[in-house]
């Protein structure tokens, strides 16, 4: 998190101070724990989910929450869906889809965006023009429309969604990282490195990139929330994840015809989406405050009166 | 810009995908494919297809819609006002609500109201719009029977739910920005000066609000673009016959020319709105001017 330079003294182990700071801020703690739970669910759905997400039962279609299961064992806590599958288990398995799309999309778009942004900002000239004109064009278009169009042409599925989302979201990272690079390139760190004869590659990778890490981390956390929402929308429209794969967006679209009779089929997936995105957004807000040198001390030293803008300047982009 | 958009559309539909395959169901035979390709002039190399595409674009119709058998552009333009109506109502709901929420929150930072505004605006940005729409349908249409579940018609009963659904996100973002812009203004010397000379708090409030308006207006314009974007999903949920529903219907029916026309119109719209936002920004902010 700390801005690093080559010859800076080793920083005091910071992670403990950050842990204490999170512990003090209950809302962020809640968000972090929730996100960790979803990540665990995505990694080991079989251990957490009480039932098989794909096993259907025609006698148990659209049963309300707490209906006893046919095989004994735990009741269907969140009810069953139109095909008699356990909603809770499908939700837990669905976390894998949502979070894979979210994390993979963020990583791919982030790496492309930051590399292009830094290169453009450092080299200037025609590279800069080319990259930034592409950025302007892509960001001017509504990204969901573009994603819908491309997915219609190339077909849905996990890999395609990740690729498309990366394709439409990288310009954001490029724009921000280019701006920061322009500012950093003027500083004495880069000047010193250049006069010592560092290669351009070394300046970019050892001096510029590490200093971009913390703003990019904030941006990536915000984008995680946005990509999860985008995946849900695309799957809801039938252009994303294909059945029978459990995806939260798809579950809502499956339950939509039964809105009059079975509220649980669409309500719970939406709550899961909301909670995931909300915790990512809360975490991003906190990261932003903590990574801002002007505000960090208040959070890490636990002053009761927080700076008024601490949690809120800007908000999710 | 427009030219680039048109080229992008061509590349996606004709070079990445196969237009004939996109227009036929997957079980179509080779003979059927050839027949369709022949009748639409989609044969030959990509160079020939580019020619056919440009011809369609240049005629202003983008080709004949296979689904309704009228020029595609005519269909799209017919649906455009319907979407504008929806986005406009959503805009009128969200901007005043958000500015009110944000400025009240900034008035007493760290108070209960402030925390409430904070979390609820974060919640607004974290909700998927189609789900929020379904929840509203469930509560107000199915449960209470106050509003329509969908469709288009005159009167509030039709437009209110989709417009509310669309406004959640915009409210969240604009409220957060208003709050931080107001806090910025409150910390500036002129406010301290005004307080020192005993100006009543409500007059200070309006002074600050006026100055905080610049970023808020810019973001609001940007959000209008997002409203058009979000309208696609929300229109599907509420069967609102706007441009977003048209796009989805065109995709379901594999009506490629109609899809191309819809995308082109949405892209042009986005560009125009961005331009208007830039112009507004210059005219509002005396510090910036394009001479």
pTM of this structure: 0.81
Chain A: give the shortest CA distance to residue B131, in Å: 6
HEC profile for chain B? CHHHHHHHHHHHHHHHCCHHHHHCCCCCCHHHHHHHHHHHCCCCCHHHHHHHHHHHHHCCCCCECCCCCCEHHHHHHHHHHHHHHHHHHHHHHHHHHHHHHHHHHHHCCCCHHHHHHHHHHHHHHHCCHHHHHHHHHHHHHHHCCCCCCCCCCCCHHHHHHHHHHHHHHHHHHHHHHHHHHHHHHHCCHHHHHHHHCCCCHHHHHHHHHHHHHHHHHHHHHHHHHHHHHHHHHHHHHHCCCCHHHHHHHHHHCCCHHHHHHHHHHHHHHHHHHHHHHHHHHHHHCCCCCCC
Q: Is A41 in contact with A95 (CB distance < 8 Å)?
A: yes
User: Does any domain span residue A95?
Assistant: yes
The one-character DSSP state at A147 is H
Taken in order of first residue, the domains within chain B and their CATH numbers are: 2-59 (no CATH), 79-284 (1.10.3720.10)
Q: B232 to chain A: nearest residue by CA?
A: A145
Q: What integer is the mean pLDDT of A204-224?
A: 84
Chain B: give the shortest CA distance to residue A205, in Å: 33
φ, ψ of residue B239 to 5 degrees: the values are 50, 40
Number of domains in chain A: 1
Interchain proximity A315–B228, CB inside 8 Å: no
pLDDT, position A66: 63
Q: What is the per-residue pLDDT across B147-163, written as a single tens digit (0 to 9) for each?
A: 666 667 676 767 778 88
Interchain proximity A312–B125, CB inside 8 Å: no
Q: Would you call A86 helix, strand, or coil by DSSP? A: strand
Q: What is the per-residue pLDDT across B219-278, written as a single tens digit (0 to 9) for each?
A: 777 787 778 778 888 888 888 888 888 888 888 777 777 888 888 888 888 888 888 877
Measuring CA to CA, which residue among A240, A110, A226, A254 is closest to residue A175? A110
Interchain proximity B232–A140, CB inside 8 Å: no
pLDDT at residue B34 tops 90: no
Quick one: tokens of A163? 């690729």
Q: Which residue in the set B118, B130, B134 is minimally distant from A311, CB to CB?
A: B118
Q: Which residues of A76-91 are buried (b: 16+ CB within 10 A; e: fewer)?
A: bbbbbbebbbbbbbbb
Q: B185 to chain A: nearest residue by CA?
A: A309
Q: Looking at the DSSP assignment, which residues form a beta bridge with residue A76?
A: A67
Based on C-alpha coordinates, what's the Rg of chain A? 23
Give the residue, B128 or B57, on which the prediction is more confident.
B128
If 0-12 CB within 10 Å is exposed, 13-18 middle and 19+ buried, where does residue A166 land? Answer: buried
Q: Is A114 in contact with A209 (CB distance < 8 Å)?
A: yes
The one-character DSSP state at A146 is H
Neighbours of A69 (CB within 10 A): 17
Interchain proximity B259–A152, CB inside 8 Å: yes
Based on C-alpha coordinates, what's the Rg of chain B? 24
pLDDT, position A9: 52
pLDDT, position B264: 83
Interchain proximity B128–A140, CB inside 8 Å: no
User: Does any domain span residue A67?
Assistant: no
pLDDT, position B248: 84
Confidence of residue A307 (pLDDT cuts 50, 70, 90): very low
Q: A155 to chain B: nearest residue by CA?
A: B17
Q: Tell me: ipTM over 0.85.
A: no
Quick one: tokens of B73? 């552009």
User: Does any domain span residue A87?
Assistant: yes
Q: Which of B9, B130, B144 is the best substitution to test chain A (most A C-beta atoms within 10 A)?
A: B130
Does residue A244 have a cis bond before it (omega within 30 degrees)?
Answer: yes
pLDDT, position A34: 85
Measuring CA to CA, which residue among B63, B64, B46 is closest to residue B7? B46
Please give the interface size between A and B, counted as residue pairs whose CB atoms are below 8 Å apart: 140
Helix or strand holding residue A213 (H, E): helix A209-236
Confidence of residue A295 (pLDDT cuts 50, 70, 90): low
pLDDT, position A316: 40
Q: Is B260 in contact with B13 (CB distance < 8 Å)?
A: yes
Among B residues 157-176, those touching chain A with beta carbons less than 8 Å apart: 172-173, 176
pLDDT, position A108: 93
Give the residue, B20 or A3, on which the prediction is more confident.
B20
CA dihedral (B72, B75, B79, B80) positive or negative: positive
Interchain proximity A144–B233, CB inside 8 Å: yes
Q: Which residue in the set A142, A152, A312 is minimally distant from B118, CB to CB?
A: A312
Q: Is A45 in contact with A98 (CB distance < 8 Å)?
A: no
> For residue A232, which residues of chain B lie inside 8 Å, CB to CB?
128, 130-131
Interchain proximity A259–B135, CB inside 8 Å: no
φ, ψ of residue B64 to 5 degrees: the values are -85, 130
Q: What is the per-residue pLDDT across A137-174, written as a single tens digit (0 to 9) for each?
A: 787 777 888 888 888 877 777 888 888 888 888 888 88
Interchain proximity B123–A285, CB inside 8 Å: no
- What CATH number did the domain enclosing A214 receive? 1.10.3720.10
Residue that the structure tokens 């921000």 belong to: A176
pLDDT, position A106: 92
State the residue range of the domain holding A240: 41-53+75-301
Q: Is A161 in contact with A241 (CB distance < 8 Å)?
A: yes
pLDDT, position A314: 38
Q: What is the per-residue pLDDT across A57-110, written as a single tens digit (0 to 9) for each?
A: 666 666 666 666 666 566 666 667 767 677 777 888 888 888 888 899 999 999
User: Does any domain span residue A185?
Assistant: yes
Among B residues 224-253, those touching chain A with beta carbons less than 8 Å apart: 225-226, 228-230, 232-233, 236, 247-248, 251
pLDDT at residue B105 tops 80: yes
Alpha helices in A86-157 (DSSP H): 87-123, 125-140, 143-154
Give CA–CA dist B188/B184, Å, rounded: 7
Give the residue, A15 or A284, on which the prediction is more confident.
A284
CA angle B204, B207, B210 (to 5 degrees): 145
User: Does any domain span residue A228?
Assistant: yes
Q: What is the per-residue pLDDT across A258-279, written as a single tens digit (0 to 9) for each?
A: 777 777 778 888 888 888 888 8
Top-confidence range, A239-253, B144-158, B163-177 = B163-177
Interchain proximity B225–A142, CB inside 8 Å: yes
Give CA–CA dist B187/B176, Å, rounded: 17
If 0-12 CB within 10 Å is exposed, 13-18 middle and 19+ buried, where does residue A287 land? Answer: buried
pLDDT, position A178: 87
């Amino acid at each position: 998190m700390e801005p690093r330079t080559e010859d800076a003294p080793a920083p005091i182990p910071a992670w403990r101070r950050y842990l204490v700071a999170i512990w003090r801020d209950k809302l962020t703690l809640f968000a972090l724990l929730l996100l960790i739970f979803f990540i665990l669910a995505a990694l080991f759905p079989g251990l957490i989910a009480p039932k098989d997400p794909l096993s259907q039962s025609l006698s148990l279609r659209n049963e309300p929450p707490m209906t006893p299961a046919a095989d004994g064992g735990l009741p269907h806590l969140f009810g069953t869906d139109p095909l008699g599958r356990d909603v809770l288990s499908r939700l837990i398995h669905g976390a894998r889809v949502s979070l894979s799309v979210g994390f993979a999309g963020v990583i791919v778009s982030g790496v492309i965006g930051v590399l292009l942004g830094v290169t453009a900002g450092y080299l200037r000239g025609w590279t800069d023009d080319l990259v930034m004109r592409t950025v302007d064009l892509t960001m001017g278009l509504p990204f969901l429309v573009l994603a819908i169009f491309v997915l219609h042409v190339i077909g849905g599925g996990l890999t395609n969604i990740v690729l498309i989302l990366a394709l439409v979201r990288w310009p954001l990272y490029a724009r921000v990282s280019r701006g920061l690079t322009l500012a950093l390139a003027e500083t004495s760190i880069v000047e010193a490195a250049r006069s010592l004869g560092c290669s351009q590659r070394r300046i970019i990778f050892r001096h510029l990139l590490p200093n971009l890490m913390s703003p990019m981390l904030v941006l990536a956390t915000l984008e995680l929330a946005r990509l999860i929402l985008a995946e849900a929308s695309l799957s809801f429209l039938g252009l994303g994840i294909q059945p029978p794969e459990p995806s939260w967006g798809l579950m809502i679209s499956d339950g939509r015809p039964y809105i009059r009779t079975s509220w649980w089929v669409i309500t719970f997936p939406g709550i899961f989406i909301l909670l995931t995105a909300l915790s990512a957004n809360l975490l991003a807000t906190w990261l932003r405050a903590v990574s801002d040198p002007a505000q960090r001390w208040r959070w890490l030293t636990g002053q009761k009166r927080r700076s008024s803008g601490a949690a809120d300047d800007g908000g999710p982009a | 810009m427009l030219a680039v958009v048109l080229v992008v559309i061509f590349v996606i539909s004709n070079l990445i995908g196969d237009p004939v395959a996109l227009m036929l169901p997957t079980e179509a035979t080779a003979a059927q494919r050839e027949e369709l390709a022949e009748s639409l002039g989609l044969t030959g190399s990509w160079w020939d297809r580019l020619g056919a595409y440009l011809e369609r674009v240049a005629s202003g119709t983008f080709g004949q819609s296979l689904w309704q058998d009228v020029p595609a552009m005519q269909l799209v333009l017919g649906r455009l006002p319907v979407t504008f109506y929806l986005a406009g109502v959503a805009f009128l709901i969200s901007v005043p609500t958000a500015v009110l929420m944000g400025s009240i929150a900034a008035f007493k930072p760290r108070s209960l109201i402030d925390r409430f505004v904070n979390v609820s605006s974060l919640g607004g940005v974290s909700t998927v719009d189609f789900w929020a729409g379904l929840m509203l349908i469930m509560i107000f249409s199915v449960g209470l029977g106050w509003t329509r579940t969908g469709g288009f018609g005159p009167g509030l009963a039709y437009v209110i739910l989709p417009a509310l659904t669309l406004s959640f996100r915009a409210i969240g973002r604009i409220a957060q920005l208003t709050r931080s812009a107001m806090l910025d203004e409150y910390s500036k010397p002129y406010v301290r000066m005004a307080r020192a000379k005993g100006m009543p708090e409500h007059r200070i409030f309006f002074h600050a609000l006026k100055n905080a308006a610049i970023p808020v207006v810019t973001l609001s314009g940007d959000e209008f673009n997002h409203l058009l974007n979000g309208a696609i999903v929300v229109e599907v949920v509420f069967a609102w016959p706007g441009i977003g529903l048209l796009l989805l219907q065109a995709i379901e029916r594999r009506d490629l020319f109609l899809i191309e026309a819809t995308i082109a119109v949405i892209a042009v719209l986005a560009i125009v709105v961005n331009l208007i936002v830039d112009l507004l920004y210059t005219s509002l902010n005396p510090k910036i001017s394009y001479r």
